[in-house]
Structure 1
Amino acid sequence: MKIAIFANEGRKSMMISRKLHQKFKDTHFILDNDNPDIVVTVGGDGTLLSAFHQYKNILDKVRFVGVHTGHLGFYTDWRDDEIDDLVISLQSDNGQSVSYPLLDVKVSYMDQLRPETFLALNEATLKRNSATMVTDVYIGGELFEKFRGDGLCISTPTGSTAYNKSLGGAVIHPNLKVLQMTEIGSINNRVFRTLSSPMIIAPNDWVTLYPNRESDYILTVDQNSYHGRQIKQITFKTSKQSIHFAKYRHMQFWQRVQDAFIGAEYAN
C-alpha cells in the first residue's frame, strides 16, 4: 500500500507527521506523495480540505484518513495519540470505504471563451465585495427569482454542517446526494422579494446564477477564493465524483453531528 502524509504547518501536526512517517517506514509501507492509495491528513478539517484539493485529480483511486491534532474535526476520526492503532488498522486494510458527494462548479467569464471548472467538498459561495449582489437564479434551467442581498451559498450534504449551518441552513445526511442553496443577507421589503428560505436541490437539477455585470464579485470554493473578473454565469450541480474515506472506524454521520455541535454530556 502506498501512503501519503499531508500535514499542516503547526508544531504538533509536524511532530505527529514525523512519527507517522517513521512508523510507516518501520512497517514497510511505501511512502508516495504523488500517487498514493491512502492520504493521511494531520491537522484538522482545513488540512483535509487542502489535501482533497491537492489530490482531486485522482479521487477515484485514493481514500482519505484524518488525524486531528486539535479539537475533533468533522472529517477527522483519529486522535493524535492513536497513531499506533491507525497504523495497525492500515496493515489490515481490506479496501472498504465510505463516500460523500461533491459539488461541481462551472464559471463562465466575460473575457474567456472556455468556462473554468472547480470541485468543492463543503461549499461554494458568491458574494459582492462592496455593494448589494443582484443575480438571476435559475433552477433546472427555469428562472426562479432575482436575488438581492449579500450573497448565496451552495453546499454539499457534508458541507451543510459548515458555513451553510451558520446561515440557518438544514443539516443533510450525505446519503442524500442533493445540493442546498442558502441565502446570505437577502433583501426582502415592499419592493424586492426572495424566497428567504434554504432550498434543497434534487440530484438531477442544477442551479445557475447570472449576476449583474460587475467585476467585484468574490467566488469561494471551499477555502479558496477568486475575484476581480466579470462573471457571465455560474452553474452548480451535484458531481459525478465522490470523496472516499477509509472505513476503519468512520463515525456514523448523526453521531458525528452530535459530537461536533451538542456533545454527549448534553444529549441526555
Structure 2
Amino acid sequence: MKNRVITIHTNDTPASLKTKKLLAKKLEVSGFIVSESLEGDSELIVCIGGDGAFLEGIHKFDFPEIPFIGINTGHLGFFQEINPNQLADFIFHYKTGKYRLQTYSTVKAIVTTKDNQCFEHTGLNEIVIRGELCRSVHLNISIGGSFIERFSGDGILVSTPAGSTSYNYSLGGAIVDPRLKLMQLTPIAPMNTTAYRSFTSSILLPSDLSLGIIPDYETKHGIKITTDHLEYTYNDIDHITVEFSHKIVNLLRFETYDFWTKVKSKFL
C-alpha cells in the first residue's frame, strides 16, 4: 500500500505549534504519515499560520505542483481554508475526496544587470519594484515592447489576481477574481506635477503581455525587488522584465468555498 505523506509547514506562534501537534496526531490516527520536509511522495502541504506563513511555505518548497491548504491561526487568513476547530472535518473531507483544486497563476521578474547576469524572482501575490532606502525612483516603463511612461514616485507593484486583495488593495488597486488571468500594475505614491507625469491608477494587462522596466539612474542608490515577502537589492540593473511565470500554485478548496463570499467576510 502506498504511503500517504502530508507535509506540514508552520510558523512559531504558540497557537500554530499547538495546532500542528494536534493535526499531526489526528492525521497519523487516520493513516497518514506526517513530515516537516517535502518528501518525494508527499501528496499535500498544510500551512499553519496566517497568510505570511502560507507564502513562506510556498517559497520554502519552491512552488511545487502539490496542493496546499491553509489552517488559519493568524489574523486575516485570506488564503487559509480552515480554522483550527475544523481539523476533523478537514481530514474527513480530504479522505473522501470532497474537495476541488483552485489554480493560482504566479508572476516573475527577470533582472538583467549591466554585466549581463540574469536573476529570476517569482511571486504568488506580487512583485514590487522601488528605490533603496525609501528613495523615489524614476522608471522607464514599456508594455509589450511599447514605451508607456517615465514613472516617478516610490515605486510600482505588479500583482496577480491572488495578490489583488493584498498590498495592491491597500494601494487602491482593484480586487480581481482569481479565475481571470491578468497582471495588475499599480503605482506606489506616483508623482504627478508639471515636472513629473505618471499614471495614478492601476493598469490591467493580459497574460501574454510583458512589462519592461529600465531604471533611470540619477543617483547611485539601488533598486529593491520584493517578491511576496522576500527582498533583493541591485545597484547595477540594466533592465527588468515582469511577466507571467509557468509556475502555478494549487490550493485545496472544499465544496463550500466561494471567492466573493470570502472577500465579503474578510473586507466588509
Normalised to the residue count of structure 2, the TM-score between the two structures is 0.91
> Which of 202, 207, 212 is residue 211 of structure 2 equivalent to?
207
Q: Aligned partners of 2:256 and 2:240: how far apart in 1?
A: 34
Displacement of 1:244 in angstroms is 0.5
Identity of aligned residues (%): 28
What residue in structure 2 maps to residue 4 of structure 1?
7
| 1:249–1:231 distance in 2 versus 1, CA, 3 Å | farther
Three-state SS of the structure 2 residue aligned to 1:56 is coil
The count of corresponding residues between Structure 1 and Structure 2 is 259
Q: Is the 8 A contact 1:217 1:227 kept in 2?
A: yes
> Which of 53, 67, 79 is residue 83 of structure 2 equivalent to?
79
1:55 aligns with 2:61: yes
Q: Aligned partners of 2:87 and 2:118: how far apart in 1?
A: 43
Normalised to the residue count of structure 1, the TM-score between the two structures is 0.91
Alignment of 1:1-268 (within 5 A): 1-32=4-35, 33-35=37-39, 36-59=42-65, 62-93=66-97, 96-111=100-115, 113-130=116-133, 131-213=135-217, 214-249=220-255, 251-262=257-268
- Structure 2 residues not aligned, in runs of 5+: none
Displacement of 1:37 in angstroms is 1.3
Q: Aligned partners of 1:138 and 1:162: how far apart in 2?
A: 25
Q: Is the 8 A contact 2:99 2:254 kept in 1?
A: no
Q: Aligned partners of 1:41 and 1:223: how far apart in 2?
A: 16
Q: Is the 8 A contact 1:77 1:249 kept in 2?
A: no
- Structure 1 residues not aligned, in runs of 5+: 263-268
Three-state SS of the structure 1 residue aligned to 2:254 is coil
1:79-98 Cα distance to aligned partner (Å, 9 max, x none): 11111111112222367311
Q: Is the 8 A contact 2:106 2:245 kept in 1?
A: yes
Q: Aligned partners of 1:171 and 1:233: how far apart in 2?
A: 29
1:161-217 Cα distance to aligned partner (Å, 9 max, x none): 110111111111111100000101111111221122110011110111101234422
Q: Aligned partners of 2:263 and 2:99: how far apart in 1?
A: 25
Displacement of 1:101 in angstroms is 1.4
Q: Aligned partners of 1:256 and 1:81: how far apart in 2?
A: 18
Three-state SS of the structure 2 residue aligned to 1:18 is helix
Give the alignment's Cα RMSD to 1 decimal. Answer: 1.6
Moved more, 200-209 or 248-257: 248-257
Q: Is the 8 A contact 1:215 1:231 kept in 2?
A: no
